[in-house]
Structure 1
């Protein structure tokens, strides 16, 4: 049993063949509908034209030759001058028997002329016209003028052959035009197909070539815009994953280092070390839950405003003990009332953790967290008394040489995703300001 392949083959005929078949089919049908009636009409025209010529000659000969030669049974009647050599002329009695000239011994068409009218028809491979002799007396006979029907048929065949050749030329031109049009219409779609396949393979720098087909160009522009958006989203997701892994790895490393240090000191307070490890583990669990919540929620502000004061005081109480162990203090300054913030609590919590981690690791002295009401927003300012950031260093760039980069880059991306801003207000001593929109 064959295994189904991952790639489905397209159904139906290619567009090139469809356009080619449609144009050539319409051209062929049009030529046929025009040429067949024209060929029939031309055949009738040639037949009628030849018959009219024979009619004129037969009437003229009957008028020139006296009917007495027929009445008297003359077997040799001279033809008048000017009779075309291609004609076969014979004189017949009223009963259709030949008296003189060329032709069969008896002629049905010549016998029909006894009613005094000109008769025509095909007889023994000849196109025949019989004209009676004009007479006031009893009808004496008729003149039979004939021409081989092959002459008329050859003339029609030559005309039909010329029409067929012209039809072939027209259909050939239509085929050439159809090939060009099918290539013109199919090429942009083929380019779009290759671009879509490249996009599916992860190439977000695709550029669909321009054509003179508006719809295909519009589809190409839409595909390019989609590729750029997908590339930007993927870049942001990759950067977010790198930042998150850094945050988790940093906290896990700190917890492991504390445990290893305690194991290496015989006089270590194991109960205190375990409590610190448990606190760091709980904080790591909170970080993981916040990041998972942000990833699933798309980094957007919550439907309801939350209390910034309670969050800041919670984080301050969590960090005050850790800073006190290092001989440093933490001061939290908050007003009595603040407007609700239009941001996700998980995002704000992670941003503050990053800023406090940055102050604890790279800063010195007292750490200050100050919250203020801006009217249309809330500002959270985090500062310390350390040397700050060297001049010309972008602390929000990933991979900054001073070690600030990844965590602060994550914090800025979270702030921007929530409609806020994270800025470095002063480089030394460092002052970071988180601006959040009010709900």
Structure 2
């Protein structure tokens, strides 16, 4: 690729130089030619002024000195050379001058300029000045050599610049290729850096955006897998226990047990749909009734807590504002916190909804022994009783995705988790509010 870029740059530079220098070289030659002819004509005119118009062949006329190699001659009306240098008899240029016409010509390797000498309105002679054309060529070739050297220098600079640019482009393209390969290998953290080349930077920005989107998609899918495995384990265990109890008790109400099993299977199906929708960003926030949501949580968990001998208490006012959050997300977060209270807490569990600084706070409190200071309860894999430690970590991530915050608001003497959900129109008031 580097060679191709350099070849294109060199060819383009060479063509540009030729198109520029060829007319310039011709113009230089024509300029020197016109200058030499004008100099000759000026010398001839000067000599004609010096000569007396009424000269005769017997007069001893002196002409100005001419440069070495040049010719300067005085011709009479008959075309004969009287004094100076040049053809002994008039040539075509002298004859035209004797006819009254100043002449410039290029003949026999000489530049010739002839001016007539007049007296009493008649031509009495002519002055002829000539110089070798080789002098013009020498001056022209000198300038052409300078132009050629300048062109070679410009071409060399072009080659160096093209090589530098080609290496720069090639290096950036190789980095893009490597980044693409890394992205294809599953590393979604790969990013390209700006190069100062707009076209390549746009490609790099597109690659960065693709990597970010793919990473977000894969992360959502991973969260889906982890969340699904964690959130579905308890309902599946409950369903299994329900079916096993029906099988082990011949006198059990099998029809009623099957009905409960179908109801729990429907709940599992709804949970799976909700998890998929959340993982793929398909659930947007909308105002929800906090009292209705707490009552739904109470219905789902009262039986589980009663079977463990633990009471469930609900506290909420009917006039609370409606927070903005996806309903399925709110249920998943509260279920995760309730499951944590069931697994790791003890005593009465209290569900409370209250207003707090532009948000609605959902408190889940139990009478457990508290959580040690310094423990990162929301870290993945953190558990104090052999659990997976995924529930609270996923719940906090889900809350942040919805613009809410899940906090450990009290450690001792009772454990309390608080979910802060902004109400509609809270905006900066919620983001700047105190945690509780």
Q: Return the TM-score normalized by structure 2.
A: 0.71
**8 Å Cα contact 1:67/1:133 also seen in 2:** no
> Which 10-residue stretch deviates more, 277-286 or 228-237?
228-237
Q: 1:433 aligns with which of 414, 418, 433?
A: 418
What 5-or-longer segments of structure 1 have no aligned partner? 1-13, 71-76
**8 Å Cα contact 2:353/2:362 also seen in 1:** yes
Q: 1:340 aligns with which of 301, 322, 336?
A: 322
Distance 1:290 1:97, change over 3 A: same
Distance 1:65 1:426, change over 3 A: same
2:155 & 2:56 partners in 1: Cα distance? 60
Structure 1 residue 406: Cα displacement: 1.0
Q: 2:227 aligns with which of 244, 247, 259?
A: 244
1:89 & 1:270 partners in 2: Cα distance? 141
2:356 & 2:115 partners in 1: Cα distance? 121
1:328 & 1:176 partners in 2: Cα distance? 84
2:135 & 2:177 partners in 1: Cα distance? 61
2:64 & 2:332 partners in 1: Cα distance? 123
1:19 & 1:42 partners in 2: Cα distance? 34
Q: Residue 67 of structure 1 corresponds to which residue in structure 2? A: 56
Structure 1 residue 133: Cα displacement: 7.7
Name the count of aligned residue pairs: 414
Distance 1:53 1:311, change over 3 A: same
**8 Å Cα contact 2:228/2:275 also seen in 1:** no
**8 Å Cα contact 2:361/2:420 also seen in 1:** yes
**8 Å Cα contact 1:114/1:142 also seen in 2:** yes
Structure 2 matches for 1:31-430, cutoff 5 A? 36-53=26-43, 56=46, 67-69=56-58, 86-87=69-70, 94-96=77-79, 103=87, 107-114=91-98, 121-129=105-113, 146-147=130-131, 149-162=132-145, 164-165=147-148, 167-169=150-152, 171-172=154-155, 175=158, 179=162, 182=165, 190=173, 193=176, 197=180, 201=184, 202-209=187-194, 230=213, 233-234=216-217, 237-238=220-221, 240-251=223-234, 253-255=236-238, 257-258=240-241, 261-262=244-245, 265=248, 269=252, 271=254, 274-295=258-279, 298=282, 300-302=284-286, 305-374=287-356, 376-402=358-384, 403=387, 405-428=389-412, 429-430=414-415
1:244-265 superposed Cα distances (whole Å, 9 cap, x missing partner): 2223441354146426744884
> Which 10-residue stretch deviates more, 234-243 or 134-143?
134-143
1:340 & 1:290 partners in 2: Cα distance? 21
Q: Residue 6 of structure 1 corresponds to which residue in structure 2? A: none
> Which 10-residue stretch deviates more, 336-345 or 41-50?
336-345
Structure 1 residue 16: Cα displacement: 8.1
> Which 10-residue stretch deviates more, 312-321 or 364-373?
364-373
Structure 1 residue 68: Cα displacement: 3.8
C-alpha RMSD over aligned residues: 4.9
**8 Å Cα contact 2:323/2:359 also seen in 1:** yes
1:266 & 1:151 partners in 2: Cα distance? 127
**8 Å Cα contact 2:370/2:415 also seen in 1:** yes
SS at match of 2:191: coil
Q: Return the TM-score normalized by structure 1.
A: 0.71
1:379 & 1:83 partners in 2: Cα distance? 112
Structure 1 residue 400: Cα displacement: 0.9
Structure 1 residue 89: Cα displacement: 6.8
**8 Å Cα contact 2:105/2:112 also seen in 1:** yes
2:342 & 2:108 partners in 1: Cα distance? 123
